[in-house]
Chain A
Amino acid sequence: MVGTEAATTPAIRVAVGSAEYDRASAVLEAAREAAADVRVVETGPTGAAALAPVMLATADGRTAVHADVSPDRARELVETLDDGELPTDDAHAVVESDEGVPMPETGPLAAGQRRVLARCGWAAPAALDESLAERARDDPDDLREGVAGAGLLGRGRGDGHTDESIAEGWETARESDGEAVVVVNGNESDPAVDGDRLLLESRPAEVLDGALAVAAAVEATDVVVYLNEDDELAARRVREAVESVDAGGTEIDVVAGPDRYIAGEMTMALEAMEGADRLEARLRPPGPSEVGLYGRPTVVHTPRTLAQIRAFVAAPDEFETSAADPGTRLLTVTGDGVAGPATVELATDTALTEAVADGEEYKMACVGGRFGGITRSLDVPASAPALTGARLGTEGGVELFDGATCALEFAGARAKFAREANCGRCVPCREGSKQLVELLRDVYDGQFQPNELRELSRVVAESSTCEFGQAAPRPVTTAIDTFEREIAAHAEGRCPSGVCMETN
């Protein structure tokens, strides 16, 4: 079943995501009970958690966005629409549009653009307008050449080609011995990076279609979707989507790995899928595209990467192929002053400031997820080279911190996470993270040694085996560079933010 929606008939859409599952489900049930003629569609989340539960009412080319809807309110809205009238009273926004989640003037749905996100919160998760996999099966060279020509980069730490050319990875897989596998790495346990979960809960059919298109491009016989064992809604929706897509003979498996940060690293994902009872990273090179799952060439992509590939095939002209990182990036904005996590989409040449709503004040932001970089300014384009050049991370998370956050305490907390959560395999990461914590602790005892901290961070970043250790020192180094005086003040017994001296 490939779902299509007649845009002209009045419709109610209820966005149900895992974060608001109970409340939104009650709204959906109430809407279904109340509906006489209008169509009630269960969609995935919109990405704007602050508005949940969200209900969209559409009629005559206009859409009313209702936020924070209760079951009683849902009944009223449905009845109004059933009576032939668009319910606009107390709406969060009313927009002249009946194609995709509308973008109001303000609020979390207003930021950036909605290209990859267009149908998140709009279409039924298992619905697919157009199968790009079919096109890729007809003409795999066209997809390969197109993606190579555009220079699309992989997105997210779990991708097999993070910030690198995905087309090169495909070539490697094609040239390597054995039947290729495509892994959809949807296991991201970082709460500050929600783009993959959003796509899996909202657009699983598109994610699968993208994976099947890649399978056609690299002549893979299997697609394995690897989720986090705690992502139950995503699991259900992906399985429903598996039933509805045309796999064209490719086998699709859906499996789940542990809810641990390391389980998202590409080779630990493979280890989990091979049944390892303890996770540790594999050596590389050769990487998974040469020797991956059970030794087979394995192309690993995140849902975010697959969504870009689909967006590219659907509208290649919208991709600036001369750009170092063409397309858009999903960014989840969380933190102090943010009403609820908001996953927004920015063109890669747009500054991160666009992702943050007006009036959101912050002292500093951590850009790039758990091991992102600290910055005072978000005036940095969202492209991988620009973020890397600004020593920020490309993970797709922007956490805002207000004046009550101490940069040293923050850096210490991230270093402790690195110390506790690493796989334990290699010395620079396992022992280096312990010593990072110790050197930061020394500051409270009156000894701030920025050069030692930088030296250690350099070695951990440059000699660790996997992306975990390579990224782990970034919060520390960027905090030192950005807030050196604030950190140094602690050695004199003073916390300028007034938060951490009493406890230490």
Chain B
Amino acid sequence: MSTDHTGRAESLPSVPSIDDPRPHPPLTEHFNTGTATDPDVGARETSSLTVDGEEVSVGEEATIIDALGEVGADEELSALCYYDREDTDRIGPRSECRTCMVETDEHGLVPSCSHPAEDGMAVRTDSTEAEEARSVNLDLVLSDHNLRCTTCGKNGRCELQDAAIEADVEVPRYGVFDDRDEYEPIDESSPFIQIDRNKCILCNRCVEACNDVQVEGVLRIEGSGPDTRIGFQNGADEMMDSTCVSCGHCATVCPTGSLVEQDYTDAATIPVPGFTQENSIGETIGEDYDGQPNPATPMKGNQTYEDDALDGEADDE
């Protein structure tokens, strides 16, 4: 419906010239993480609610999953992309997997990891709709996952594997990602971290670890729709061409075998001769890598002293 001869003087800007009142523009503002600026999703005040009939009180900033945790009802959910550990305030909730759906009287089905807890709310984890949604969404995650656990470096310490076992998934409805022609080559360019995007669930933890915790600005989300993937902010195709400093934080937070420290890539695999993760995919990139344009340093975890210069740099504004 457009014409290109409508006598337009000049093209419009994409960004309005209006005030950005945020008191401290985020430190990471110059990073192109590819991700949306989500609002704060936590509750504004303390609240009392019921979870499967049990009364619970939670404080400010709480989302529903905190209330579930109070009564142990979070055990019912996979809550796959939720990161409930020391860096919680800087990582997540990404709320992308939707395996944490619960039913509320007030709003119907909501993702418990990112919906604010509200006073008087009645939450149910066991409604048919909520159970169906969690189960279908977990199967949808698996449908895009190369489920070759036996050759995976995270076998036995993988959150997706745990979730699938806990949810008693026997045969995922939509199968698993098992098409050699469609696999992305494994990125072996970095001597410290291996990337296998065929195992990535796009939880964004690595991006937040790299940008918001380490303040390195290496990783991002790129593409859209079926082409959405983890990429590098400097546009590199391979990790070794990125600005990665090999701190390893991304691999630490990755729930799956998508980012694995090279020392561990074969650590948990079952030793079947000739059957390794590389040949399960069939293709790798970066194996012959020998240039080092960026100051890649040994992984922090491999260094002998803990409080190294990089940590200082990360905190240095």
Q: How many chain-A residues does the 8 Å CB contact rule pick out?
A: 77
For the complex, what is the distance from the CA of A423 to the CA of B223, rounded to whole Å? 8
For residue A194, which residues in chain B have a CB less than 8 angstroms away from its CB? 1
Whether B8 is near chain A, meaning CB under 8 Å from some CB there, is yes
**A294/B22 in contact, CB under 8 A:** yes
For residue B293, which residues in chain A have a CB less than 8 angstroms away from its CB? none
Beta-carbon contacts under 8 Å, B192-243 to A: 201-202, 220-228
**A430/B225 in contact, CB under 8 A:** yes
**B12/A295 in contact, CB under 8 A:** no
* Residue in B13, B15, B20, B41 with the greatest tally of chain A CB atoms within 10 Å: B15
Interface-side segment among B45-53, B96-104, B150-158, B265-273: B96-104
4 nearest interchain CB pairs? A424-B228, A253-B16, A230-B2, A291-B39
**B143/A431 in contact, CB under 8 A:** yes
A256-B13, A283-B36 known, 10 other contacts, Cβ within 8 Å: A22-B3, A231-B2, A274-B37, A285-B115, A295-B21, A423-B225, A427-B98, A431-B140, A463-B109, A463-B111
* Residue in B4, B12, B14, B17 with the greatest tally of chain A CB atoms within 10 Å: B12
Instruction: Give the interface of A toward B (CB within 8 A).
Output: 18-19, 21-22, 178-179, 181, 191, 194, 197, 222, 224, 227, 229-233, 235-236, 251, 253-257, 259, 262, 267-268, 271-286, 290-291, 293-296, 419-428, 430-432, 434-435, 438, 452, 455-456, 458-459, 462-465
**A428/B41 in contact, CB under 8 A:** no
Within 8 Å by CB of B1, from A18, A280, A424, lies: A18
Whether B290 is near chain A, meaning CB under 8 Å from some CB there, is no
- Minimum CB distance partner of A465 in chain B: B95
Within 8 Å by CB of B35, from A232, A262, A280, A291, lies: A280
* Residue in B109, B222, B224 with the greatest tally of chain A CB atoms within 10 Å: B224
**B3/A426 in contact, CB under 8 A:** no
**A277/B34 in contact, CB under 8 A:** yes
**A255/B109 in contact, CB under 8 A:** no
For the complex, what is the distance from the CA of A286 to the CA of B39, rounded to whole Å? 7
**B141/A427 in contact, CB under 8 A:** yes
Q: How many chain-B residues does the 8 Å CB contact rule pick out?
A: 65
Within 8 Å by CB of A435, from B17, B116, B140, lies: B140
Least Cβ distance of A439 to chain B in Å?
8
Within 8 Å by CB of A434, from B93, B97, B114, B143, lies: B143
Whether B289 is near chain A, meaning CB under 8 Å from some CB there, is no
**A427/B22 in contact, CB under 8 A:** no
For residue B1, which residues in chain A have a CB less than 8 angstroms away from its CB? 18-19, 191, 194, 197, 230
For the complex, what is the distance from the CA of A251 to the CA of B17, rounded to whole Å? 9
**A253/B17 in contact, CB under 8 A:** yes
Least Cβ distance of B136 to chain A in Å?
4
Q: 12 A-B Cβ contacts within 8 A?
A: A227-B12, A232-B8, A272-B14, A276-B37, A285-B41, A291-B39, A425-B36, A425-B96, A428-B137, A430-B228, A432-B136, A462-B129
Within 8 Å by CB of A18, from B3, B101, B109, B129, lies: B3
Whether B147 is near chain A, meaning CB under 8 Å from some CB there, is no
* Residue in B18, B95, B129, B226 with the greatest tally of chain A CB atoms within 10 Å: B18
- Minimum CB distance partner of A268 in chain B: B36
**A275/B36 in contact, CB under 8 A:** no
Within 8 Å by CB of A282, from B9, B36, B174, lies: B36
Least Cβ distance of A273 to chain B in Å?
6
For residue A296, which residues in chain B have a CB less than 8 angstroms away from its CB? 19, 21
Given contacts A19-B1, A426-B98, are A275 and B14 in contact (CB under 8 A)? yes
For the complex, what is the distance from the CA of A369 to the CA of B26, rounded to whole Å? 38
Given contacts A21-B5, A430-B228, are A256 and B14 in contact (CB under 8 A)? yes
**A463/B98 in contact, CB under 8 A:** yes
Least Cβ distance of B28 to chain A in Å?
13
**A424/B14 in contact, CB under 8 A:** no
Least Cβ distance of B119 to chain A in Å?
14
**A290/B39 in contact, CB under 8 A:** yes
**B38/A283 in contact, CB under 8 A:** yes
For residue B222, which residues in chain A have a CB less than 8 angstroms away from its CB? 278
Whether B299 is near chain A, meaning CB under 8 Å from some CB there, is no
For residue B16, which residues in chain A have a CB less than 8 angstroms away from its CB? 222, 224, 253, 255, 273, 293
**B137/A434 in contact, CB under 8 A:** no
Whether B304 is near chain A, meaning CB under 8 Å from some CB there, is no
Least Cβ distance of B34 to chain A in Å?
4
For the complex, what is the distance from the CA of A242 to the CA of B132, rounded to whole Å? 51
Whether B74 is near chain A, meaning CB under 8 Å from some CB there, is no
**B36/A281 in contact, CB under 8 A:** yes
For the complex, what is the distance from the CA of A370 to the CA of B265, rounded to whole Å? 45
**B15/A275 in contact, CB under 8 A:** yes
**B7/A236 in contact, CB under 8 A:** yes
**A253/B141 in contact, CB under 8 A:** no
For the complex, what is the distance from the CA of A275 to the CA of B41, rounded to whole Å? 22
For the complex, what is the distance from the CA of A271 to the CA of B132, rounded to whole Å? 32
**A274/B140 in contact, CB under 8 A:** no
For residue A181, which residues in chain B have a CB less than 8 angstroms away from its CB? 18
For residue A435, which residues in chain B have a CB less than 8 angstroms away from its CB? 140, 143, 174
Whether B144 is near chain A, meaning CB under 8 Å from some CB there, is yes
Within 8 Å by CB of A459, from B3, B37, B40, B137, lies: B137
For the complex, what is the distance from the CA of A259 to the CA of B137, rounded to whole Å? 30
Least Cβ distance of B239 to chain A in Å?
20
Given contacts A227-B12, A253-B18, A428-B98, are A271 and B36 in contact (CB under 8 A)? yes
**B141/A431 in contact, CB under 8 A:** yes
**B174/A438 in contact, CB under 8 A:** yes
For residue A426, which residues in chain B have a CB less than 8 angstroms away from its CB? 95-98
For the complex, what is the distance from the CA of A273 to the CA of B163, rounded to whole Å? 38
Within 8 Å by CB of B6, from A21, A271, A431, lies: A21
Least Cβ distance of A433 to chain B in Å?
8
Given contacts A229-B11, A236-B6, are A424 and B39 in contact (CB under 8 A)? no
For the complex, what is the distance from the CA of A456 to the CA of B136, rounded to whole Å? 7
For the complex, what is the distance from the CA of A88 to the CA of B11, rounded to whole Å? 41
**A255/B15 in contact, CB under 8 A:** yes
**B224/A423 in contact, CB under 8 A:** yes
For the complex, what is the distance from the CA of A276 to the CA of B36, rounded to whole Å? 8
For residue B97, which residues in chain A have a CB less than 8 angstroms away from its CB? 426-427
**A282/B140 in contact, CB under 8 A:** no
For the complex, what is the distance from the CA of A134 to the CA of B116, rounded to whole Å? 39
Whether B133 is near chain A, meaning CB under 8 Å from some CB there, is yes
Within 8 Å by CB of B136, from A232, A277, A295, A459, lies: A459
